[in-house]
Amino acid sequence: MTKAEKVQYVIDELENLYPETPIPLDHTNEYTLLVAVLLSAQCTDVRVNKVTPSLFALANNPFDMIKLTTEEIKTIIRPCGLSPRKSKAIYDLSHILIEKYNGEVPADIDLLEELPGVGHKTASVVMSQAFEVPAFPVDTHIHRLMYRWNLTNGKNVTQTEKDAKRLFPKELWNKIHLQIIFYGREYSPARSPRKSIDYITMKIGRQTVIEEMKD
């Protein structure tokens, strides 16, 4: 298969598997999505979704969030890990949103990246999932599968994002990045991928990866 044929194969198979792509993080508005994505750093979406209802019941907007102390926020979000840093980031970015953007989350990736605790991946997720602006946020699943499928050299997430954006049509970015995540979780885990399950990798994958996979 040529690389273009591999990409089309991935597109077709993922569309068959996941015609619908619900956003994994529960949220009610752009602000709650931003906070949820921030909390998901080094934490599973499942755990974030267990924690955020308690937080958002108290504050689902920056005006209510700054009424809490960082200590109160930290206590609620502790199960997500890195709670001292994350609680401060949530509190500080809420102040900035009020002071600079009238409490609204800016629909601009550069402005989002200026917010405390918001890196490029978090900003890309918000642009994609809150504002439907084409973006290709690269998490560990996408980084892993792009390498396994020999669609990137796997040196770093920056290169993986560039390769993903170059290979996949822009109009598919927002959907296919979620489809790849879903496939990675279900069929191609980080540890002990199996030949009998991970059929896309078996079809188009890097030979060295296939050789290391279990039956």
DSSP notation for 20-45 = ----SS--SSHHHHHHHHHHTTTS-H
Same domain, 99 and 46: yes
**121 among known catalytic residues:** yes
What's 207's domain CATH number? Answer: 1.10.1670.10
Is residue 9 domain-resident? yes
Nearest-5° angle of CA 21, CA 155, CA 17?
Answer: 20
pLDDT in tens, 11-37: 999 999 999 999 999 999 999 999 999
pLDDT, residue 155, reads 87
The CATH number linked to 118 is 1.10.340.30
What mean pLDDT is predicted for residues 190-203? 95
86 among known catalytic residues: no
Catalytic residue from among 6, 74, 86, 121: 121
Catalytic residue among 6, 45, 86, 139: 139
CA pair distance 157, 138, nearest whole angstrom: 6
Same structural domain, 55 and 12: no
Q: Which of 111, 129, 147 is the last residue of a domain?
A: 129
User: Residues 177, 206: one domain?
Assistant: yes
Picking from 129, 156, 182, the residue at the C-terminal end of a domain is 129
Domain boundary among 87, 112, 129: 129
Say if 171 falls within a structural domain.
Answer: yes
Calpha distance 205→147 (Å, rounded): 8
Please tell me whether residues 164 and 199 are part of one structural domain: yes
Number of H helices, E strands in the chain: 13, 0
Q: Rounded to two decimals, what is the model's pTM?
A: 0.93
Note whether 72 and 92 are same-domain residues: yes
Beta bridge partner(s), residue 214: 194
114-167, pLDDT tens digit by residue? 999 999 999 999 999 999 999 999 999 999 999 999 999 978 999 999 999 999
Q: Specify whether 62 is located in the same domain as 123.
A: yes
**Are residues 122 and 37 both part of a single domain?**
yes
Residue 214 — φ and ψ, nearest 5°? -80, 160
Range of the domain at 49: 30-129
Tell me how many domains the chain contains: 2
Rounded to whole angstroms, the maximal C-alpha distance in the chain is 57
